[in-house]
Structure 1
Amino acid sequence: MATDTTTVAPPGLPSKADRVGRRPALRRDGRFAGIFLAPSLGGLALFTLFPTAMALAISLFDWPVFGERKFLGIDNYTQLLNDPVFRRVVLNTALFVVLYVPLNLVVSLGLAVWVGPKIKGRQAFRVLFFIPVMTPMVANVMVWRLLFQPGGLLDSGLESWFGINAPNFLGSSAWAMPAVVAMSIWQGFGYNFLVFSAALDQVPQSQLESAQIDGAGPLQRFRYVTWPMITPSIFFATTMTLITSFQVFVQPFILTQGGPGVATQTIVMYVYNQGWQFLTMGLASAAGWVLFVIIMAVTAIQFVGQRKWVQYDV
């Protein structure tokens, strides 16, 4: 008597015949997915991966724009580490990040909490606060330069109202970086404001009302109800703001030209100067890769640390 050896799949799971039958469809879907992804992948390879690899290769050479190119190995990186100007530039960038990121997050989150569902005209406030983000950076910087310069609006206002003169914000090594930070916060807080505003709209009002009935005050409701629910958005905003702040260029380039001296020169400005003023592409590429490593390290620390404070299952 013949015995049926056909394997019966457990309930809820596809049988072997079903899985074999699906393979042609999966291969066909994979081919179509590859066709649709090809333009994006080609653009990524051509405009991102290839320039990144070329920058790494150039950083190992003495690579003038014109003239003979010579392989140096890691000499460019050694020169950067021994360059007091580059060390000061790294410190300037770190100072900008330390000042800008917390202030940006505090201002944007505070305004997002203020422009809550009970505020009249909250849509108008959202548009108003986002306008600086949409305005061209160069135009914003030029307006702030007129504001900060001696005899400008700020100096004239302090003199007429209080009888005092404002410090030379753009010409003082003590005030130049705070001026760049202030301008940058005004320019960029609107993006995080919208991120936080959208996150706050997702907090269930029923939970806030329940906490209020239980006697929780506004700060307690924010600390124990709102904050845990918006930590993913805070993590996203913090990470993106850190990455962009390390790449700051336009604000100090136009406001102070990196001065006075090198008081506001950043790493990206250093890369620009080495590459397009001194035409030392090898050194510029090495500085760019140093910046890349710094950003990657900070981002990795962010992703490791977020396990302790970001709550995705609230």
Structure 2
Amino acid sequence: MLATRKRRKGPGQEGLITASPFLLPSLIGLLVFSLLPLIISAFISLTDWNGLDQLTAPGFFQEHFIGLENYKAILSSSEFWGVLWNTFRYIIMYIPLMLMASLGVAYLLSRQRRGVTAFRIIYYIPVLTSWVAASMIWKSMLSPEYGAVNNILAIFGIQGPGWLLDEAWAMPAIVLVSVWKDMGFFGLILLSGMVGINKAYYEAASLDGAGSWQKFWKITLPLMTPAIFYVLIVSLINAFQLFPQIMIMTDGGPNGATQVMVERIYKYGFRYYRMGYAAAFSWILFAIIMVCTAIQMKGQERWVNYDS
């Protein structure tokens, strides 16, 4: 008679059982604060809810359900396409400038020998500053009447623009403030990718007579592409969610020059009490972000180098 062997649990199963009690709070938080609001938002986007009526009231669905009308109204409105263009205009200016500034910060910190920790803290201070405080400070500094920026330009005989009050300059001003605040964070990410490059590559290049500029273009930049790719993904998603600096510095003005997607979502939901319309707007934004992220993920195969 063959003895039956009790099937043993693998190390992976035992680890999962051990970790389950510790994972449960996070999973509950994910369900309650992420997945459930997503489902409710999708439901609201199919209604004309004003944000005031009780969602659980009897007959709510029959009274307020309008199907895909919110989506049709948004996609057929000229305002949506103007707001989308403003958002992409911000992205087109912000990402290249932010990437160049962050690369500059990373390169300078990698070359710094003394006081590198102090310089890292200095570059990171804007990241720790809240957007509310930073936006109010920059709004004051960019004032055409008494702002510090135009006063400094006047010393050199330059007539400063109206900045936030000028349709042509309002969005570039927002971009510059965003780059100032974000370059410390992304610069440290790029720095970690830069210092992780094997020094043997540089030693071999030096033996071949390569200069500093050649080393940067032929070694540093190609081997930093995973970090650069991460920065591009995160910065693109952040750029689509542009909101606090717009609300505080321009409120979408002047004449709608800085109206962007999240700013419109907020105003439709909490100023105009068109919560269903705002929810549909947010789902369209979500779809756009997913498409752009998927394009980036697919495109990484052509240029990201994962060799150590």
User: TM-score, normalization: structure 1?
Assistant: 0.90
Partner of residue 237, structure 1: 231
Partner of residue 27, structure 2: 41
CA distance in 1, matches of 2:13, 2:202: 49
Partner of residue 16, structure 2: 30
Residues 108-148 of structure 1: CA distance to partner in whole angstroms, max 9, x if unpaired?
Answer: 01221122245432222111111000011111111111111
CA distance in 2, matches of 1:226, 1:83: 47
Does residue 248 of structure 1 match 2:242?
yes
How much has 1:218 moved relative to structure 2?
1.8
Residues 34-75 of structure 1: CA distance to partner in whole angstroms, max 9, x if unpaired?
Answer: 222111010001000010111111101111123565111111
Q: Contact (CA 8 Å) 2:124, 2:185: kept in 1 or not? A: yes
> Which residue among 180, 186, 189 is the counterpart of 2:180?
186
Matched position secondary structure for 1:251: helix
Residues 228-273 of structure 1: CA distance to partner in whole angstroms, max 9, x if unpaired?
Answer: 2211111111100111010000111111111002110110000000
Residues 253-298 of structure 1: CA distance to partner in whole angstroms, max 9, x if unpaired?
Answer: 1111110021101100000000000111100000100110011111
Matched position secondary structure for 1:262: coil
Instruction: Give the 3 Å change call, closer, same or farther, for CA 187–118 of structure 1 in structure 2.
Output: closer
CA distance in 1, matches of 2:177, 2:112: 30
Matched position secondary structure for 2:246: helix
> Which residue among 184, 209, 215 is the counterpart of 2:209?
215
Instruction: Give the 3 Å change call, closer, same or farther, for CA 32–111 of structure 1 in structure 2.
Output: same
Q: Contact (CA 8 Å) 2:105, 2:183: kept in 1 or not? A: no
Gaps of at least 5 residues in structure 1 are: 6-15
Which is further off, 301-310 or 201-210?
201-210
Partner of residue 310, structure 1: 304
Residues 185-222 of structure 1: CA distance to partner in whole angstroms, max 9, x if unpaired?
Answer: 00111111000111111112232122011011222212
Matched position secondary structure for 1:62: coil
Residues 166-194 of structure 1: CA distance to partner in whole angstroms, max 9, x if unpaired?
Answer: 11111111000000000110011111100
Instruction: Give the 3 Å change call, closer, same or farther, for CA 278–215 of structure 1 in structure 2.
Output: same
How much has 1:102 moved relative to structure 2?
1.1
CA distance in 2, matches of 1:244, 1:236: 12
Amino acid in the other structure paired with 1:91 = W
CA distance in 1, matches of 2:116, 2:52: 57
Q: Contact (CA 8 Å) 1:56, 1:286: kept in 2 or not? A: yes
Partner of residue 219, structure 2: 225
Q: How does 1:82-231 map to 2 (within 5 A)?
A: 82-151=76-145, 152-162=147-157, 164-231=158-225
Q: Contact (CA 8 Å) 2:131, 2:244: kept in 1 or not? A: yes
Matched position secondary structure for 1:175: helix
Partner of residue 267, structure 1: 261
Partner of residue 80, structure 1: 74
Partner of residue 54, structure 1: 40
Matched position secondary structure for 2:307: coil
Residues 5-53 of structure 1: CA distance to partner in whole angstroms, max 9, x if unpaired?
Answer: 9xxxxxxxxxx96xx6432765544332222211101000100001011
Gaps of at least 5 residues in structure 2 are: 54-59
Instruction: Give the 3 Å change call, closer, same or farther, for CA 26–110 of structure 1 in structure 2.
Output: closer
CA distance in 1, matches of 2:307, 2:149: 48
Matched pairs, number: 298
Partner of residue 288, structure 2: 294
Which is further off, 114-123 or 230-239?
114-123
CA distance in 1, matches of 2:180, 2:12: 50
How much has 1:158 moved relative to structure 2?
2.3
CA distance in 1, matches of 2:239, 2:304: 22
Amino acid in the other structure paired with 1:157 = I
Amino acid in the other structure paired with 2:177 = M
Does residue 65 of structure 1 match 2:51?
yes
User: TM-score, normalization: structure 2?
Assistant: 0.91
